[in-house]
Amino acid sequence: MAEQRADTTELQALVDSLGELIAYCDALKSGASGFAYMLPNDWQGPAMTAFLGSFTQWTLGAEALRLQAEALQSQAKAALTAYEGAIGDMDEYWSNLAMNLGA
């Protein structure tokens, strides 16, 4: 049916954006882990412990965000696959119907 079109470009863009967010979260996580331990050895005591604790929280937050982004990306990919499959099935259905009707 020519008058009905499905556009999945925005859904594909969402899948791609979530992939970029996952990569960004991985970079945040590794950056937080690496930077905190590059400080000089003379940084010690409660302030240093609190400072390292904040980097640990940053790392955990980045990991939690990455896991959520992966779950969302999985759902978006499933939706995209379903839409693309349905589009193909309906195109084939309408083509066969038109051919059988002699159009």
pLDDT tops 80 at residue 85: yes
pLDDT tops 70 at residue 94: yes
- Tell me if 3 is assigned to some domain: no
CA distance 102 to 97: 9
Tell me which residue of 9, 15, 2 sits closest to 74, measured CA to CA: 15
**pLDDT of amino acid 30:** 85
Q: Which domain range does residue 20 map to? A: 9-101
**pLDDT of amino acid 3:** 59
Enter the tokens of residue 93. 């259905």
Average pLDDT over residues 15-44: 84
Are 27 and 54 spatial neighbours (Cβ–Cβ below 8 Å)? no
- Tell me if 4 is assigned to some domain: no
Number of structural domains, the chain?
A: 1
- Tell me if 2 is assigned to some domain: no
Average pLDDT over residues 42-58: 82
